[in-house]
Chains A and B, each alone.
Chain A
Amino acid sequence: MRRTREEVDATLQIAKLNAAELLPAVHCLGFGPGAGAAAGDFCLLELEPSLCQQLEAGHSLVIRGDKDEQAVLCSKDKTYDLKIADTSNMLLFIPGCKTPDQLKTEETHCNIIHTEIFGFSNNYWELRRCRPKLKKLKKLLMENAYEGPDSQKEKDSNHSKYTTEDLLDQIQASEEEIMAQLQVLNACEIEGYWRILDFDYEMKLLNHITQLVDSESWSFGKVPLNTCLQELGPLEPEEMIEHCLKCYGKRYVEEGEVYFELSADKICRATAQMLLQNAVKFNLAEFEEVWQQSVPEGMITTLDQLKGLALVDRQSRPEIIFLLKVDDLPEDNQERFNSLFSLREKWTEEDIAPYIQDLCGEKQTIGTLLTKYSRSSIQNGVKVYNSRRPIS
């Protein structure tokens, strides 16, 4: 059944092609045995160059999704939306087919290359980099927030707990993105499970530390780990004390000793959350006074520290402030904007920016998001943004 050189030359003659103008080698293309195979047994995946390099290095990719979710594809550190792109053309995949450059550089003694087409398709998988879907992570971990080793919950073993593998099985994100988010959430690994701390417990740990700093008259920039563990060890597990220091400070070593430089911004912010969560809203002036008095001596509170945590309303009389956490808001772009505009009809860019910053993808800025999802106008000389459509 294989074509011979004579048959090829005869065809060239009939086609009136001049063999002198062609390279000597010809590919006789035929369909391989699996070529008519069922769609879905093989497919084409379009890759950006960095993904191609990862596959060449032997790394795997993983597709993740629930039946009711849009599938995503994850590399070690990035997440992509996976879509099927249709083309009206036919795409044939051909092993062993050489390009003219390859033919010119390689020595081919035979000038017939019998080539089998492996398969064909009229669609391929297309990838678009997307934000990892991390909202579910906090939701899962909050099912069983850690309240300390002595809490009744820890004694019961039937509360949900998740290992890294469990999380990879549930979250549509790459492993590195999940790890980064666990750090943002101040989660810690206890007995192999990832746990988020109950806020009151986290504040209890922080208060032990700040009170110790105060009673020892240490500088906040130089808090010695060992002394903390020694003094506070009887009160709380050492791992939890160290975890709290890591969450609220930066670790460094000096003359062989481990110290932590505590972050005033993080401590002031946490203190504000503790105050604000107890009421629907606060008189701004009163809040600012109480807040400054509640933070460790020497730390200065500023409203800038509360971006993405609380919102100030300067239109109301008196001015008020209330808790509004960006991670309590919807993950989807349109839903996020809908919820923000139902809270407040018109926003300045300065006020809304912390609440949409996390929606910015690789190529989107705050500006492009505002252009897409809102309409702007000038109010009292200031540019404000409102919803494009009526919010019910």
Chain B
Amino acid sequence: MVQIIISSAGAGGLAEWVLMELQGEIEARYSTGLAGNLLGDLHYTTEGIPVLIVGHHILYGKIIHLEKPFAVLVKHTSGEQDCDELGCKTGTQYLVTALIKNKILFKTRPKPIITNVPKKV
């Protein structure tokens, strides 16, 4: 049987991140992939409503406090040097990197931004 440890550094070592939930998929404009590219601007209204501008869209969302928080686990595949006093269990371990207690949910239809209004001839 396999034992995979999920270890935590404790509150001091755990950051708090935010989850953003979007409907649909995000594709990179160019085939170089998403890494390094901008997604968009995230604003909040004075009432606390999140507003996301992505490409030609505006999305309005809401902040939800999660009843069941998430942990972000990052996988570590290690060699012999990661043995602890209990010996090596497997080469795989997960480290809890952050906790997520809030999410920003965008589920309404995006509003298109019209930038080119042709002038009447």
A30-B39, A60-B5, A91-B21 known; A23-B71 Cβ under 8 A: no
A29-B38, A44-B70, A58-B10 known; A93-B43 Cβ under 8 A: no
Contacts of B38 in A (CB 8 A): 1, 3, 28-31
Q: Does B74 contact A (CB under 8 A)?
A: yes
Please, how many angstroms separate the alpha-carbon atoms of A89 and B103 in the complex? Answer: 13
The answer on a CB contact under 8 Å between B35 and A47 is no
CB-contact partner of A89 in B23, B35, B75, under 8 A:
B23
Q: How far is the CB of B24 from chain A (nearest CB, A)?
A: 7
Please, how many angstroms separate the alpha-carbon atoms of A30 and B69 in the complex? Answer: 24
CB-contact partner of B100 in A29, A60, A93, A98, under 8 A:
A93
Q: Does A235 contact B (CB under 8 A)?
A: no
Of residues 28 through 61 on chain B, the ones whose CB sits less than 8 Å from some CB of chain A are: 33-46, 48, 50-51, 53, 58
Q: How far is the CB of B116 from chain A (nearest CB, A)?
A: 10
Chain B residue at minimal CB-CB distance from A52? B69
Please, how many angstroms separate the alpha-carbon atoms of A14 and B22 in the complex? Answer: 23
Of residues 32 through 56 on chain A, the ones whose CB sits less than 8 Å from some CB of chain B are: 32-36, 40-49, 52, 55-56
Q: How far is the CB of A166 from chain B (nearest CB, A)?
A: 11
CB-contact partner of A41 in B39, B74, B98, under 8 A:
B74
CB-contact partner of B36 in A31, A42, A170, A172, under 8 A:
A31
Q: Interface size for chain A: under 10, 10 to 19, 20 to 34, or 35 or more residues?
A: 35 or more
Please, how many angstroms separate the alpha-carbon atoms of A46 and B71 in the complex? Answer: 7
The answer on a CB contact under 8 Å between A42 and B74 is yes
The answer on a CB contact under 8 Å between B6 and A58 is no
The answer on a CB contact under 8 Å between A95 and B17 is yes
Q: Does B83 contact A (CB under 8 A)?
A: no
The answer on a CB contact under 8 Å between B21 and A23 is no
The answer on a CB contact under 8 Å between A22 and B19 is no
Cβ proximity bits A16-30 to B, threshold 8 Å, 1 near / 0 not: 110001110111111
Q: How far is the CB of B84 from chain A (nearest CB, A)?
A: 11
The answer on a CB contact under 8 Å between B10 and A94 is no
Please, how many angstroms separate the alpha-carbon atoms of A56 and B15 in the complex? Answer: 10
Q: Does A165 contact B (CB under 8 A)?
A: yes
Q: How far is the CB of B1 from chain A (nearest CB, A)?
A: 5
The answer on a CB contact under 8 Å between B99 and A52 is yes
The answer on a CB contact under 8 Å between A23 and B44 is yes
Of residues 56 through 78 on chain B, the ones whose CB sits less than 8 Å from some CB of chain A are: 58, 63, 67-75
The answer on a CB contact under 8 Å between B8 and A60 is yes
Contacts of B98 in A (CB 8 A): 93, 95
Q: Does B121 contact A (CB under 8 A)?
A: no
Task: Please tell me which stretch of A64-72, A255-263, A328-336, A341-349 contacts chain B, meaning at least 4 of its Cβ atoms lie within 8 angstroms of it.
Answer: A64-72
A interface SS class: mixed
The answer on a CB contact under 8 Å between A22 and B44 is yes
A55-B14, A55-B99, A90-B22 known; A48-B3 Cβ under 8 A: no
CB-contact partner of B43 in A26, A46, A67, A165, under 8 A:
A26
Please, how many angstroms separate the alpha-carbon atoms of A90 and B106 in the complex? Answer: 10
Cβ proximity bits A241-276 to B, threshold 8 Å, 1 near / 0 not: 000000000000000000000000000000000000
The answer on a CB contact under 8 Å between B1 and A69 is yes
Please, how many angstroms separate the alpha-carbon atoms of A117 and B26 in the complex? Answer: 13
Cβ proximity bits A73-102 to B, threshold 8 Å, 1 near / 0 not: 100000000000000111111111111110
A29-B41, A90-B22, A169-B1 known; A40-B75 Cβ under 8 A: yes
The answer on a CB contact under 8 Å between A64 and B1 is yes
Contacts of B2 in A (CB 8 A): 63-67
Contacts of B72 in A (CB 8 A): 42-44, 93, 118
Contacts of A8 in B (CB 8 A): 41
Q: Does A62 contact B (CB under 8 A)?
A: yes
Contacts of A170 in B (CB 8 A): 1
CB-contact partner of A100 in B17, B44, B68, B89, under 8 A:
B44
Contacts of A44 in B (CB 8 A): 19, 70-73, 100
Contacts of A30 in B (CB 8 A): 36-39
The answer on a CB contact under 8 Å between B74 and A59 is no
Q: How far is the CB of A128 from chain B (nearest CB, A)?
A: 11
Cβ proximity bits A280-303 to B, threshold 8 Å, 1 near / 0 not: 000000000000000000000000
A→B interface (CB under 8 Å) = 1, 3, 8, 11-12, 14-17, 21-23, 25-36, 40-49, 52, 55-67, 69, 73, 88-101, 103, 115, 117-118, 120, 124-125, 165, 168-170, 172
B→A interface (CB under 8 Å) = 1-11, 14-15, 17-26, 33-46, 48, 50-51, 53, 58, 63, 67-75, 86, 89, 96-100, 102, 104, 107, 113, 115
Going nearest first, the 9 A-B pairs with the smallest beta carbon separation are A58-B10, A100-B48, A97-B18, A27-B42, A63-B4, A29-B39, A55-B8, A92-B20, A100-B44
